[in-house]
Chains A and B, each alone.
Chain A
Amino acid sequence: MPTILTPPEIDRKRDRHDGDEGAGGTGNGQKPPTDKRTGGNGDGENWNNRPQGHRGPRERLSSARVGLFFALGGDMMFFVALVSIFFVNKQSGHFDAYSHYINEWLPTAIPSILWLNTAVLLLSSVSAEIARQGMFDEKKTMDEWFGFGRPVSNRASAWLAATLVLGMMFLAGQWIAWRQLQAQHVFFASSMSSHFFYLITVTHAVHLFLGIGALAGALLVLWRSRSMLTRQVLVDGTVWYWHVMGLLWLFLFILLEFGQ
């Protein structure tokens, strides 16, 4: 066999950077990421210049964000497909027996409660963002990590609970909107535009329902988990998901309100 060049054991085990790393152990006791994005030993060192796996406590957080980014990218394609079909169907028609081109599209009247729901959802994003920002406050986070009380988690729990309530209010508002439409005998099967109204609002509501589950999960973790990093990652991921669903709703709402 050819020469196999295996470096000496000592070389492989050499650790070039002290401190935190993403690969391998990410258990408790790890220094949590904070507002301070760079750091390390001495001033001016930028963690981003370090090799992957050695970029300090942000590593696991940014891993979760990258994963969420790709997952939400796929999810957005799902809605892109729905909205494309919306526009195609809106424009399409058929020739009747007398060779007249008929476009049967009749816009569905959007219940005005949706305006209120939209406002509630945007408000919930604000409270979620306050919770998220609080998780990375440099001083308080380090305090909590050292074990001086739970200033960060308690504050975030309060704001996340507010988000959860606002989110459920939104879902309740959507439910009322569906009931109002049904009272006017506008069902899923009623017309082409009602297909889309229900399809878009229901698929979005399913996503928000999952978001509420994530919020509940984040609250549970804030309460139970001992790892500061886990708490931060979960809150951060949930809030970003919530923001994207809020923005998506804004777009879908504008589409339904003005695009029909």
Chain B
Amino acid sequence: MASLQTSDVVRWGWFLPRDAALHGPALDAHLMLNLWIVLGLAVLAHGLLLVGVMVRRRRAKLPVVMLEYLPLLALTALFAWLATKSEQLWASQRYVGADPAAMQVEVTGEQFAWYFRYPGVDAAFGRTKLPLVSAAEGNSLGIDPTDPKGKDDIVTSQLVLPAGREVDLTLRSLDVIHGFSAPEMRLKQNAVPGQTAHIHFTPTVPGEYAILCTQVCGLGHYRMQSVLRVLPAKEFDAWLTQRELAKARFESEVSR
């Protein structure tokens, strides 16, 4: 893939990075609406403050209803409107799970790396056990070799996804809390040890994106970064088939 130019990374609307997820534009629009409102209110309040200390006092009587309760009522309406809009967005993203047909990928954080596991042809993840975790033996996730479902699981260090297909991410952590974040996907969720979390989204634009850790996890926190590669559907299929073949070849060699 060609190296990305600055203009690809940044969209100059409030300095937000470029947006490559299906739910992103709605989120961005709501964020920018918020920021414009905040900016407007901040400028208005500072204007009132500055003018207020400049002008001479004229009226002695200040009507409380006009100056306090009416603006408060307007602000209440404003915040209620923003809350309704944003909770609708939140509900549409988080209140429901992923589509049953969504692609399954498991994301595991450990100090200080991300691992991504694809279920392989059987569409099921093999079970994992913490005592089996051993990077030296090539089993960073502790996949149980006695579980047949795990035979075809593919583990990668980059998250490769097809454009335009919904993905269901299962977040896990081996050791401490990590924060899975893909800024260009407008996505963030902590991976908490001892439990799993699901988030789902649809990448839309092929490209190479950042994956960061956003929950302090130790001295290597700043370099716990990975790559999210979104490929056109066909290229992705080719990539996955190649990985599956390589895995099958490896398994047969091991068993022989």
Give me the interface of A with B, judged by CB distance under 8 Å: 94, 97-99
6 additional A-B pairs beyond A94-B195, A97-B128, beta carbons within 8 Å, are A94-B194, A97-B127, A97-B129, A97-B144, A98-B127, A99-B127
> Which residue of the partner chain A has the closest CB to B142?
A97
How many Å from the CB of A99 to the closest CB on chain B? 8
Count class of interface residues, chain B: under 10
Can you name 8 A-B pairs with beta carbons within 8 Å? A94-B194, A94-B195, A97-B127, A97-B128, A97-B129, A97-B144, A98-B127, A99-B127
* Total A-B residue contacts, Cβ distance less than 8 Å: 8
Judged by DSSP, the binding face of B is loop
Find chain A residues with CB under 8 A from B194 CB: 94
From A94, A97, A98, A99, name the one whose CB has the most chain B CB atoms within 10 angstroms.
Answer: A97
Taking Cβ atoms with an 8 Å cutoff, the residues of B that contact A are 127-129, 144, 194-195
Within the assembled complex, what's the spacing in Å between the Cα atoms of A98 and B128?
A: 10
Complex CA gap A18/B127 in Å reads 83
Tell me what chain A mostly uses at the interface: helix, strand, loop, or mixed.
loop
What is the bound-complex CA distance between A97 and B127, given in angstroms?
6
Across the interface, which residues of A come within 8 angstroms of B129, CB to CB? 97
Which A residues touch B195, using CB under 8 A? 94
Which B-chain residue is minimally distant from A96 (CB atoms)? Answer: B127
A54 to B129, CA, bound (A): 72
How long is the Cα–Cα vector from A97 to B194 in the complex, in angstroms?
A: 12
Write out the residue numbers on chain B whose beta carbons fall within 8 Å of the beta carbon of A98.
Answer: 127
Nearest CB of chain A from residue B131's CB, rounded to whole Å? 11
Q: Which 8 A/B pairs are nearest by Cβ-Cβ distance?
A: A97-B127, A97-B129, A94-B194, A97-B144, A98-B127, A97-B128, A99-B127, A94-B195
What distance in Å separates the Cβ of A172 from its nearest Cβ neighbour in chain B? 40
Residue of A nearest to B127 (CB): A97
Give the distance in Å from the alpha carbon of A98 to the alpha carbon of B129 in the complex.
Answer: 10
**Complex: A76 Cα to B211 Cα, angstroms:** 44
What's the minimum C-beta distance from A260 to chain B, rounded to whole angstroms? 23
In the complex, which residues of chain B have a beta carbon less than 8 angstroms from the beta carbon of A94?
194-195
Query: B126's closest neighbor in chain A, by CB?
Result: A97
Minimum CB–CB distance from A91 to chain B (whole Å) comes to 14
Nearest-neighbor residue (CB-CB) of B194 within chain A: A94
Complex CA gap A97/B144 in Å reads: 9
Q: How far is the CB of A138 from chain B (nearest CB, A)?
A: 52
